[in-house]
């Protein structure tokens, strides 16, 4: 990003700016100050942080805060220095937030799980021969690799029921699939 890439054309929509008690002179003064200073502030921030979007957002936030406090800001020795300070603090705050977010996301990263092996057609055909309840127990136990208590909790039945379903299902699958050949797994 180069400083030439920063958009220096920001229009102020004065129709949404509420007039103040002094008949609007303070608002006009703020608008004139904003138009003369905002481009330079944005350019400086873009140079400091290297991110034109962040510079634009921080500039907008700083000038919004200045407008909200305009009577006290305009009384300062240098309202522009105040805006730079607020804008730089905003940039630092957002960069710090980004770092925290990246660290949080990195800590949340899980080890990628390899995709499951493609199931054998004959195994799925045999599973379809089981009752829905038995098929659910088999798939949760042997495909999802849950423990019997976890399967019971997922199905809303007792652990004994799961054990019984699995035992009957293994016998029925053995009948349907035939004996396992050496090196071949039906999992």
What does the pLDDT profile of the chain (187 residues) look like in tens digits?
A: 444 444 444 443 333 344 444 446 889 999 999 999 999 999 999 998 889 999 999 999 999 999 999 999 999 999 999 999 999 999 999 999 999 999 988 888 777 777 766 667 788 888 888 998 998 999 899 888 899 999 999 999 999 999 999 999 999 988 888 876 444 554 4
What is the sign of the dihedral through the CA atoms of 7, 50, 67 and 79? negative
Closest-CA residue to 59 (of 80, 78, 76): 80
Cβ proximity of 81 and 32 under 8 Å: no
Cβ proximity of 88 and 46 under 8 Å: no
The pLDDT of residue 144 is: 84
The DSSP output letter for 139 is I
The full set of domains in the chain, from first to last, is 3-108 (1.10.1740), 121-177 (1.10.10.10)
Two tokens at 128? Answer: 């379809």
H/E segment holding residue 144: none
Q: Which residues of 19-54 are buried (b: 16+ CB within 10 A; e: fewer)?
A: eeeeeeebbeebbebbeebbbebbbbbbebbebbeb
What is the sign of the dihedral through the CA atoms of 51, 52, 57 and 62? positive
Q: What is the pTM of this model?
A: 0.49
Distance CA(13)–CA(26), nearest Å, equals 15
Distance CA(4)–CA(56), nearest Å, equals 14
């Amino acid at each position: 990003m180069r400083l030439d890439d920063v958009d220096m054309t920001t229009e102020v929509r004065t129709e949404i700016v509420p007039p103040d008690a002094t008949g609007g002179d303070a608002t006009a003064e703020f608008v004139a100050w904003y138009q003369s200073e905002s481009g330079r502030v944005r350019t400086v921030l873009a140079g400091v942080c290297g991110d034109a979007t962040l510079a634009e957002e921080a500039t907008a936030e700083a000038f919004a805060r200045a407008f909200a406090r305009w009577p006290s800001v305009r009384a300062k020795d240098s309202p522009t220095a105040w805006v730079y300070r607020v804008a730089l603090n905003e940039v630092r705050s957002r960069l710090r937030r980004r770092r925290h977010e990246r660290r949080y996301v990195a800590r949340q990263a899980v080890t990628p799980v390899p995709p499951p092996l493609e199931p054998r057609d004959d195994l799925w055909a045999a599973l379809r021969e089981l009752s829905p309840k038995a098929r659910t127990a088999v798939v949760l136990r042997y495909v999802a690799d849950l423990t019997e208590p976890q399967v019971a909790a997922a199905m809303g039945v007792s652990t004994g029921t799961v054990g019984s379903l699995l035992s009957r299902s293994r016998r029925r699958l053995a009948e349907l699939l035939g004996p396992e050949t050496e090196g071949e797994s039906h999992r």
